[in-house]
Structures are given as C-alpha cells and as structure tokens.
Structure 1
Amino acid sequence: MKRKWKVGDLAKLTGLTVRTLRFYDQIGLFSPSDQTESGHRLYNESDISRLQQILSLKELGLSLEEVKSVLAGEQYSPLEIVTLQMERIKEQMKLQHKLLEQLEHVSELMQGRAPLTVEDFTRLLQAMKTGQEKLVVERRMSWEHRLDMLGTFLAEENE
C-alpha cells in the first residue's frame, strides 16, 4: 500500500507551513493527488518528488511563476536555469564584495586610529543600503505578484 500524507503531516515532514502548501495548491503549482472523503488533501510519494523539484528550483532563485513554467516544460531549459542562477549569484557577489571593501577601509582607518570622515560612513552605508534595497525590491515584486495571483484566484472563486 502506498503511503499518503495529510497536509499537516507533509508540512511537518518538509518544514514548510500548511499555509504555504495550500497557497501552492491555490496557484496550481503543487496540488495533492488525492483527498479523503471529507475533503482533506492527501499527498503521495510522487507529490513529494514534485515538491522537491519545486523547492530545488526556488533554491536556485526562480520565482514561483518561473518554477511553474519550468515544471510545465515552458520557457527555460536546464542550461538557462543554471545561467540565471549564476547571474544572480554574480550580482550578489558584486554587492557583497563592494560592502566588504568598504568595511575593510573603515576597519583600517579605525585600527590606525585615523579619524573617520562623513564620506567614509556614507560610502559604507550606501554599500549596505544597496544590498538591502535589492533584497527589498525582489521581495516586494514577489509579494505584488502573489497578491495579483490571489486577487485573480478570489475573483474566479466569486464567479
């Protein structure tokens, strides 16, 4: 007999929240293969395999929409996925390297007991801010996309 997991059990098993699993179902990214007579979601081993693919693609930095396209066989080849991830990592590395250079500069000044200028601090703050802004923009875009999808879903449910 094949094993099946309810949504709460799958959440515990994977470390995801029940809310995340339900959201993935709502957007058509990850749906259970079965349900109980009372309507509870039931997931099997092949569902868990698909979830692993989803999480792996997310780990590569793909958005949920990009993950959905990849799994549907659209848009991205494996090489394009790897290339996209490499570009994202290179950009993150450039930002981190810039921040590291500024921190080293400030550290050298402090070790030499040299006075720090306003420009030293503003360059450091700018390097810190740039990295944070990029993360905030990416998160905001992700949330806006999710809210758009939720709005579409709710509109369809009301029709």
Structure 2
Amino acid sequence: MSSLLKVGELAKQTGLSTRTLHYYDEIGLLVPSHRTEADHRLYSAQDIIRLQQILSLRQLGFSLSEIQACLESPDFSLPQVIDWHRSRLHEQITLSQTLLKRLNGIAKELETTQSVAVENLIETMETITMTEHYFTPEQQALLENRLQENEAEWRDLLTQIQSEMTKGTDFNSPTVRFLARRWLGSMKAFVRGDNDIYAALTRMYQTEGATVDSWGGMDTDTFEYMLKAVSFLTLGEVTESLIPVKKIFTPATQQVLKLGETAIRQINFDILGTEGFLLGFLTDKTNLAGQVLNEMGVTLETVQPLVKKWLGVRPKLPDGWQPPQLPFAMRAKRVIELALERAKATERSQITPEDLLLGILDEAKESGGLATYILKEELNVDLAQLEQQVEFAIARA
C-alpha cells in the first residue's frame, strides 16, 4: 500500500486540482484502483500511467469523451500517445522559435525607429494563433449557438466594418478605432473568456482562408482589416497608455476629471468611466455642464447613490494597488474621442466640460454607458432635451 498515492498527493505531484481528479473519477475516466476503509481514493502506478495518457491527449486537443473512447480501444497504447505528444511538442517548439524570432525583430525595429510595420504585427499574431488547435466538437456546437443568439448584432457590426473598408477610412480614425474596440468586445463576449477558443478562431481564419468565409458571415478580407485596425488600436494604447490630460483638456475639465476620479476611488474602483465624468460635473459647482444638469434636476445627491447602486462598493484595495492616475474605461475613451471632435468642429484644441457632456450624449446614440442609463432610466431625463440645453448654454456663454 505504500506505493499508492492519495488524491491530494497525486494532485500536488501533477499540478492538477483534487476537484479535477474527483471529476475524472465521477465520469469514469480515471477511477482509482484502490480505496481506504474510509472510502478515500488511492492511485496505483497503472492509474498514473492512465493519467499520463489523459493529460497527453488533452494537450493534443482531444475532448474528454474522445479520450475515454481512445483509452477503451484495445488498439490504443501508451507509446502511441507519447509519439503523438512528442510530435505535437516539436510543432510547438518550431512555432515558438518562429514567434521569438519575429518578436525580436519587432523589438529591434522599435528600438531603432520607434515604430513597427503593421505587417510584422500581423505575422506575429498569425504565429501566436497557430500554436493552438481548431475547435473541438463541443466548442464548435457552443459557438454555433452563441452565433445564432447574437446574429443580428454581429451582422450589424460587420456591415459597419465593411462600409468603412469600402470608404478606405484611416485605421487611426475615431470611427475605425471605435469599431475595433466594439469588435474586440464582441469577440470577448462571443468566446466568453475562453482564450483557447479565441486563438483557435483566429488561426482558423488565417490559415484556412476562403474555406471558412461563410462562418459567421465574415470573409477573410474583413477579418484581415479588423486585425490591422486592432493592431493600430493596440499599438496606440501601448505607446500612449494614458491620455495626455493636460494637452487635450482645459483646466476646468481637468478639475472635473479629478473630482470624478476621487468619487470613484471612494467606492474602491480602479477605472474611470462615464459615471465618474457625471460625478465630476456635479461635484464641481463652477462648470457649465454641471449647472445645466442641476437646472434639469440632476444633482450630486441623487446621482451618487445610483452609481453605488449599479457599481457596488468594492472591498478596500491594499496600499499601493491603485494607480496614481486611474485609466479610462474603453467607453470613456470613446466619449473623449467624440468630445474632441466637438471641440475641433469649433476650431478648439482642448475639451471643455460641456464638450465632455455632449460626448457622453453622442456616445449614447451608439450604445450608451452607465452615465446615460442613470440619466435616462433612473432620473427620466430627456437626453435630446439635455443636449439642446447644453448647446444653448454654450451659445449664451
């Protein structure tokens, strides 16, 4: 009995969780050969060999039901599994070496020119996605169901993307940047946090091309266009991780953002969204946007508890965990882009608090965040009327 391993010991030695080993037992995939009088699991050397086969097949992309069928086949053997696993590892090593070479090239290019060709980024992403398999049957069925659930929204997004492609819109334009963020958000919602599915989907498009053009209604040209758009968006956010606040915001707007950030920190959130902007308008009594909101019955006293209601109050973060300046949420960045367009339309280079409020209302026409939800749904504010009142107040000032 001394050569037998308890479930906790086996979990520790293999890096698996005891819950996984319990589940394998429940479905009959790995039933321990022995049990104690108290019914505790004990694993023999043969059980461990079977576990090695299971783990190898899992890494090769087999589903649990496929693994069970393989292990129950009389023609199946451990040397066969090892050979398959070795072959797969050789492929991964080759791909990893190619990826390392391309990343080194990008790093060198950034050192010398402070920029990088989009083609190099695309090639690197292709290499990354090739390190994963295509979908398992379970994943395929899951994605087909999700596609049907969100088909109308997905096709509307594709229509907008293809329209910008046809017009040749610059990748750095606010419209394409917004579509890139929306596409990323849709993909994240589509795969629901499963990075393996996202990588497999990317590889499928990039390596199979026209054979999968009909899947999801996205052809390869559209897919490549969005990859480039995301590359521009990502590279821009990496090289400019924080929006240059002093450059594009007036001092009054900077004060609004500071007050909004303070209010958001009080509920221990670590990102600044449109609700933070709204709190900033209302906390600062001197800005025109806040004054218009007050005139329409929107006050700090009414909004503050509603923000807490919808965001909640998180546990206090440990010292040093919050950044010195809170990053903007993706929707807040879109609002800033729209506010800057408002400012530039009147030949100004900086965003006023009024521009920022109008940016929130403009963004609400695309989707809308918590700020506009609170205004419209909780406080019954007519957003079109609010826009008119802000524009009227600007004209009077």
Same fold, judged at TM 0.5 (above): yes
Deviation at 1:32, TM superposition (A): 4.1
> What is the CA distance between 1:94 and its match in structure 2?
2.5
Q: Which residue in the other structure is 2:187 paired with? A: none
CA distance in 2, matches of 1:105, 1:33: 53
Matched letter for residue 111 of structure 2: Q
Q: Relative to 1, partners in 2 of residues 1:18 and 1:111: Cα closer, same or farther, differing over 3 Å?
A: closer
Which one-letter code corresponds to 1:83 in the other structure? D
Structure 2 counterparts to residues 106-117 of structure 1, below 5 A: 106-113=106-113, 115-117=115-117
Conserved 8 A contact 1:69-1:76: no
Count matched residues: 132
User: Which residue of structure 2 aligns with residue 125 of structure 1?
Assistant: 125
Higher Cα radius of gyration: 2
Q: For 1:48, which of 40, 44, 50 is the aligned residue?
A: 44
Q: Percent identity?
A: 21
Contact 2:7 2:41 in 1 (8 A): no
Is this contact kept in 2: 1:33–1:42, CA < 8 A?
no
With structure 2 as the length reference, what TM-score do the two structures score?
Answer: 0.27
DSSP 3-state at the match of 2:31? coil
TM-align CA RMSD: 3.7
Tell me by how many angstroms 1:41 deviates.
3.2
* Residue type of the alignment partner of 1:107: A
Instruction: Compute the displacement of 1:119 (Å).
Output: 1.4
Unmatched tracts of structure 2, length 5 or more: 140-397
* Counterpart contact for 1:11–1:17, Cα < 8 Å: no
* Counterpart among 2, 7, 11 of residue 7 in structure 2: 11
Q: Secondary structure at the match of 1:51?
A: helix
- Please give the residue correspondences for 1:1-159 in structure 2 after superposition, counting only pairs within 5 Å: 2=1, 10-15=6-11, 16-33=16-33, 41-44=39-42, 47-61=43-57, 63=62, 64=64, 68=68, 72=72, 74-113=74-113, 115-131=115-131, 134=132, 137=134, 141=136
Q: CA deviation at 1:103?
A: 0.7
**Counterparts of 2:39 and 2:108, CA distance in 1:** 58
> 1:112–1:31: structure 2 CA closer, same or farther, 3 Å change rule?
same
Corresponding residue for 2:207?
Answer: none
Letter in 2 for 1:41: D
Instruction: Give the conservation status (yes or no) of the 8 Å contact 2:30–2:51.
Output: no
- C-alpha deviation, 1:120, in angstroms: 1.9
Q: Which runs of 5+ in 1 are unaligned?
A: 145-159
Which whole-Å CA distance do the structure 1 matches of 2:125 and 2:115 have between them? 17
Deviates more, 1:87-96 or 1:120-129: 120-129
Is the 2:33–2:44 Cα contact (8 Å) retained in structure 1? no
Q: Secondary structure at the match of 2:130?
A: helix
Which position in structure 1 is the counterpart of 2:186?
A: none
CA distance in 1, matches of 2:66, 2:75: 8
Match of 2:214 in 1: none
TM-score between both structures, scaled by the size of structure 1: 0.58
8 Å Cα contact 1:32-1:41 kept in structure 2: no
Cα drift, residue 88 of structure 1: 0.7
Are residues 70 and 126 of structure 1, via their aligned partners in 2, closer, same or farther at CA, if it must alter by over 3 Å?
closer
- Which residue identity lines up with residue 31 of structure 2 in the other structure? S
Q: CA deviation at 1:130?
A: 2.9
- Equivalence for 2:236: none
